[in-house]
Structure 1
Amino acid sequence: MKITTAVPSDLDQLLAFRVEAAAWISRLGSDQWSRPYPADRLLATIEAGTVFMLRDGDRTAGTITLTPEAEEGLWTPEELREASLFVNKLTVSRDYAGKDLGGRLIDWAADRAYRSAAKWLRLDAWTSNAALQRYYLDHGFEHVRTVRKGGAINGGPRVSGWLAQRPTSPTPHGFEDQTPGPQAFEH
């Protein structure tokens, strides 16, 4: 399997992944990703070069978004001074479930973050999705804290405020990386 940078023609596939993942998560009892993701915002991340596709021949097995920007209001100014990359929208096709491709994508992200001179690989997860939180803990992340206030709607509760991080390191992932090399952080 190989990892490539997403291109605009991947937009429909990425939107379909989101719908598929939301349906699966709903069957598990979570409302995570229940609202459709705006296609224009997703296209902007593709055009920014931060969305990556896991390809198995001519099929897409998964995707991960890896950005240097944190979701506003989650991390402290001190934490934001530490070079970090942030995982978003990690999704594996249900056709590839049970093969730990998500874990290997996380390892790829940790390796890419290390090669960019980042100290941390960070993420925020749904505050009510204990199974997802356990998944990330099982893949080397440590819980930092849970931010519950300051949501996007009228300052109400934040739904994706479970914060975790893991140190970056050279990490074997077993994928053929066909992406451009990461840009190094300026010190």
Structure 2
Amino acid sequence: MKISNACPDDVTKLLAFREEAAAWLTRLGTDQWQRPYPADRLLATIQAGSVFMVMDGDVTAATVTLSADVEDGLWTEEELSEPSIFVTKLTVARTHAAQNLGGRLLDWAGDRAYRDGAQWLRLDAWTTNAALQQYYLRRGFEHVRTVRVGGAVNGGPRVSGWLAQRRAVPMEHGFEDLTT
């Protein structure tokens, strides 16, 4: 499998990919990702070089966004002063589930973060998705805290405020890395 930067032509494919993930999450009983993701925001992150796709031949098997930027109100100033890369929108196609593709993608992200000089690979997860939180813990992340207030709408409840991190270290991931 190959990992490469997403390009603007991938917006429609990635939006459909996210809709597939949202439908699967609904079947699991979580309300995560039920609001459609804005195409213009996705395009901006693609153009910033932050969105990556794992391809299995011609099939999109997974995607992840990596950024040095983070949503306001999650991490402390002290934490933000430490070099970090933030993982968002990690998604694996249902056709490629149960193959440790998400774990390998997290290893790739940690390796990339390390090569980019980051000390930490950090993420925030849905506060009500205990299965997802356990998934990250099994992959070496440590829970930092859960932020429950200060959401995007009028400072209301935050839906994605379970914070976790692991050291950015060199990792084997098995992808052919075609990223820039």
TM-score by length of 2: 0.99
Distance, in Å, in 1 between the alignment partners of 2:172 and 2:16 is 29
Aligned to 1:161: 161
Question: Is 2:101 the counterpart of 1:93?
Answer: no
**1:72 Cα deviation after fit:** 0.9
Instruction: Give the structure 1 partner of residue 116 of structure 2.
Output: 116
Report the equivalent of 1:134: 134
Indicate the residue corresponding to 1:152 in structure 2: 152
| Cα displacement (A) at 1:158 | 0.3
In 2, the alpha carbon distance for the partners of 1:93 and 1:9 equals 19
User: Does 2:68 correspond to 1:76?
Assistant: no
C-alpha distance in structure 2 between counterparts of 1:57 and 1:28, whole Å? 29
Q: Answer yes or no: is 1:25 the counterpart of 2:44.
A: no
Alignment partner, residue 183 of structure 1: none
SS at match of 1:82: coil
1:63-105 Cα offsets, whole Å, 9 max, x none, are: 0000001111100000000000000000011111110101100
Specify the code of the residue in structure 2 equivalent to 1:68: A
For the residue of structure 1 that corresponds to 2:154, the secondary structure is coil
The Cα of 1:58 is off from its aligned counterpart by 1.2
Instruction: Provide structure 2 residue ranges, at least 5 long, that are not aligned to the other structure.
Output: none
CA deviation string 1:125-150 (max 9, x = no partner): 00000000000001110000000011
Q: Given the alignment of the two structures, is residue 38 of structure 1 paired with residue 38 of structure 2, yes or no?
A: yes
SS of residue matched to 1:19 = helix
More displaced 10-residue stretch of structure 1: 53-62 or 79-88:
53-62
Structure 1 CA distance for aligned equivalents of residues 163 and 61 of structure 2: 26
- 2:49 is aligned to 49
